[in-house]
Structure 1
Amino acid sequence: MKLCFKLKLMPQHRRIRCHFPPAPRLATAAAAKRMAESRRIPTISELPIPTSPATPIGITAGPDGAMWFTENFANKIGRVTTAGLFTEYTIPTTASEPAHITTGPDGALWFTEAVGNKIGRITTSGTITEYTIPTADSYPWGIAPGPDGNLWFVETVGNKIGRITPSGTITEYALPTSDVYAMRITPGPDGNLWFTQPLGNSIGRITTSGTITEFTVPSSGAMPIGITTGPDGKLWYTDANGKIGSLTTSGTFTEYSLTDPDSFPWGITVGSDNNLWFVEQSANNVASSSITGIINEYAMPTVVSGPFDIAAGPDDNLWITEDYVDKIAIVTP
């Protein structure tokens, strides 16, 4: 699994699948109990992206009331209104493979260019500016706004955390452990940035002054991927080995097993209902969890759609990129 994961990060293997859709499994008694409690069936709709193949990856709510997303294969940034109207913008650097995107403190959208080795900025009117990362071939992936008014990003291959000011000045901080493949990053409730290290079996914390601390996930072989701050003030993360978990700012972990250990959970966010919402890429599900670990899973309408990232929208819905089928899904909790 780890070999497949590393291959999936390489440009020539970007579209491989690390799992085939798993056969249906019977839930464990504990999982069945959690899923039976407080179960509510959300509605899910899908919107086809105008460009195909697009390979949508990251998605975020923009400052203009629309959702913005990356088109990794098409080399574009996409915008979709809550009414379903699309606009697409081509990135100046060819074959840059944009990955994740976030709203910056300056009212623009900021995104990573994994193969282009740049950080991009796009205004809500579509003007794009690019900034080259000092470390060559660093493969920037996750990006998030920091409490210091800067943007923070991970360098998956460069094994660093980067910071970029709104004016484009980049500073890099080397990670203590090598080859951890840092993946996603989020602002924490404590004024620090928190990030996942899937091949390091750990979650990292970096202060705005650059001090890094690593916390080992209790489960052996864990692969934390997505991360967000939950409504309970904890960091919540997805573990590609079929779990989700929470972490206090002092380093205490709690883990919850999913029904299918091969579900490959990826992106995670907080919904308008104050639950954690995440996607299961291989199981083709979107799922929710209460802060006490009550988990509900729901099948995506399109089979083998490859749900990848998830973000809360201004309409109180959840918006999902479907990596394999070039669609954006909308979940009404």
Structure 2
Amino acid sequence: MWGITVGPDGMIWFTDATENKIRTLDPETGEFNEFLQLEDDSLPWDLKFDNEGTLWFTEFGRSFLTSVQINDVNSLTEYRIPSNISSPSYFEFDKDGNIWLIESGPGILTKFDTYTNEFTQFILPSDGVGSETVNPIGLAIDNDGNIWYSQFRTSLIGKLNPNTNEITEYATGTLTAGTYQIISDNAGNIWTTQFRADRLIKISPQTNSISEFKIPTDNTFTQTLTSDSNGNIWFVERNENKIGFFNSQIPEPTNIIFDSNRIVVSRPQSTTTQFNLSSEIDVFFLARGNERVTGILDGITVEFTPSHIDPSAKTIVSYSVQAARNLPTGITHLTIGAATMDLSYYTGSFVEVEISTGLTDPIFLIGTSLCVLSAIIMLRKSGF
């Protein structure tokens, strides 16, 4: 069972991937019923009702997005997803009624227009190792309409701006921790799990910040989660057969305020900026990159002053970012923040870094030399 929801009839609806069925549970009587028998290897995954009461679900095994009226099983309509082996998993409705879904197989984010029945696909970045994709799995939509997705094989979380079609990826947590289901709470925060690292991840799009919380039990293999009306998080510890609860109303022990979430670095020089920090616990400072599958900084060095602070301290922390000579120019993203010594807690912010050529950059020097040489030639031709 991967998908579960409450229907307009008050019944609990869920997918039975093992038996290729859609089933219901009557919460008053406890009675289970079969609603729909699908074809072999359909592997129904996620399911949801739209505003008109139509039931939609993804067929992971047969690459279909499917709809059906719950009072007429013969109304079942399957929409073939364009990719050959799409393996559609989770999906969400946006404010316009479009369906956004994850194609886990080819690594594609797909929009389905429920009025025109047309698919629009967005190919996600590769993992930096050959041509393999990162197996996206979870999907959520924030209050601004941005589409967020999680990476099954990595520690990265991605965001698609549907207005510009720009995709940005951010590093979280422990290297190849494996982010899984991803949700949006009633305040617009994004939450996901790291099932290989036993962590809950919170992203606040409004402040561009991220926090990570270690689940007390090890090896829980936590994959699925939900939020209640108060914004608290409930999650399933698959290996422990437990339901976990996280009180998100308790203030975090560390607070970071950045002067700016964007800096410009001229390679190979460094740029120094700062953030204000107050903390009730002992923390040290940590930077992460997002250019490779591991989340390791690649071609960028970050140094902090001071390197850590003691409990109950308030201070201004300076950090310098240096880019290697061979680092490509353009935009990259870092996660800058503070962590406890045992890494059970981390909080920080996403920082956009623009890499440009510097005065001592080989490309700049070559270009300058060519300009000077051209000027000399022109002067000589003019008789000077």
- Measured on the aligned residues, the alpha-carbon RMSD in Å equals 2.3
SS of the residue 2:179 aligns to: coil
Q: What's 2:102 paired with?
A: 112
Q: Is the 2:226–2:235 contact (alpha carbons within 8 Å) kept by the matching residues of 1?
A: yes
CA contact (8 A) 1:194 1:205 kept: yes
Q: Which residue of 2 aligns with 1:329?
A: none
Q: 1: CA distance between counterparts of 2:37 and 2:123? A: 28
Task: Tell me which amino acid in the other structure corresponds to 1:195.
Answer: T
Q: Hey, what does 1:170 align to over in structure 2?
A: 167
SS in 2 for 1:60: strand
Q: Which residue of the other structure, out of 119, 128, 135, is the alignment partner of 2:119?
A: 128
* 1:74 is aligned to 2:62: yes
| Larger relative contact order, structure 1 or 2 (CA cutoff 8 Å, min sep 6) | 1
User: 2:151 maps to what in 1?
Assistant: 155
Alignment of 1:27-106 (within 5 A): 40-83=28-71, 84=73, 85-106=75-96
Aligned counterpart, 2:244: 245
Query: Which has more radius of gyration?
Result: 2
Is 1:181–1:197's contact at 8 Å kept on the other side of the alignment?
yes
Identical-pair percentage? 25
Alignment match, 2:209: 211
Letter paired with 1:229: S
Determine the C-alpha separation between the residues in 1 that align with 2:167 and 2:193: 21
SS of structure 2 residue aligned to 1:57: strand
SS at match of 1:86: strand
Q: Counterparts of 2:61 and 2:170 in 1: how far apart (Å)?
A: 29
Secondary structure of the corresponding residue to residue 183 of structure 1: strand
Deviations 1:281-309, CA, capped at 9 Å, x for gaps: xxxxxxxxxxxxxxxxxxxxxxxxxxxxx
CA 130–63 in structure 1, closer or farther in 2 if over 3 Å, else same: farther
Counterparts of 2:147 and 2:30, CA distance in 1: 33
Amino acid at match of 1:192: N
Aligned counterpart, 1:191? 188
**Which 5+ residue runs of structure 1 have no aligned equivalent?**
1-15, 18-38, 253-333
Aligned twin of 2:371: none
Counterparts in 2 of 1:232 and 1:139: CA distance versus 1, 3 Å: same
Whether the 8 Å CA contact 2:154–2:175 is kept in 1: the answer is: no
> How far does residue 91 in structure 1 lie from its aligned partner after superposition?
0.6
- Return the TM-score normalized by structure 1: 0.60
Residues 235-259 of structure 1, C-alpha deviation per residue, up to 9 Å, x if partnerless?
111110201111122569xxxxxxx
| Cα distance change, pair 73–103 in 1 and its aligned pair in 2 (3 A) | same
Take 1:41 and 1:219, find their aligned partners in 2: how far apart are those partners? Answer: 34
Instruction: Write the distance in 2 (CA, Å) between the matches of 1:93 and 1:151.
Output: 20
- Distance, in Å, in 1 between the alignment partners of 2:31 and 2:96 is 34
Deviation at 1:51, TM superposition (A): 3.5
Contact 2:154 2:177 in 1 (8 A): no
**Cα distance in structure 2, aligned partners of 1:121 and 1:64:** 19
Q: Specify whether residues 64 and 129 from structure 1 end up closer, same or farther in structure 2 by C-alpha distance, changes over 3 A only.
A: farther
The answer on whether the counterparts of 1:224 and 1:237 sit within 8 Å (CA) in structure 2 is yes
CA distance in 2, matches of 1:245, 1:219: 10
Give the Å deviation of 1:78.
1.1
1:45, distance to aligned residue in structure 2 (A): 2.0
> What letter corresponds to residue 138 of structure 2 in structure 1?
G
| Higher strand residue share | 2
Contact preservation (8 Å) 2:186, 2:229: no
CA distance 1:82–1:73, shift in 2 (3 Å): same
Q: Mind listing any 5+ residue stretches in structure 2 that lack a counterpart?
A: 1-16, 19-26, 128-132, 252-384
Work out the number of aligned pairs and report it.
Answer: 216
Are the equivalent residues in 2 in contact too, given 1:189–1:234 (CA < 8 A)? no
Q: What residue identity is the alignment partner of 2:246?
A: L
Q: What are the superposed Cα offsets for residues 214-251 of structure 1, whole Å, 9 maximum, x if unpaired?
A: 10111222222111111343111111020111112256
Post-superposition Cα deviations, 1:44-87, rounded to whole Å, max 9, x if no partner, equal 22233544321111122224421211111101111122223311
1-side partners of 2:151 and 2:250: how far apart?
Answer: 23
| Aligned counterparts of 1:219 and 1:110: Cα–Cα separation in 2 | 34
Structure 1's consecutive aligned runs of 4 or more residues displaced over 4 angstroms after TM superposition are none
Scaled by the length of structure 2, the TM-score of the pair is 0.52
- Higher mean C-alpha deviation, range 202-211 or range 126-135: 202-211
> 2: CA distance between counterparts of 1:250 and 1:221?
26
Q: Using a 3 Å threshold, how does the CA distance of structure 1 residues 40 and 48 change in structure 2: closer, same or farther? A: closer
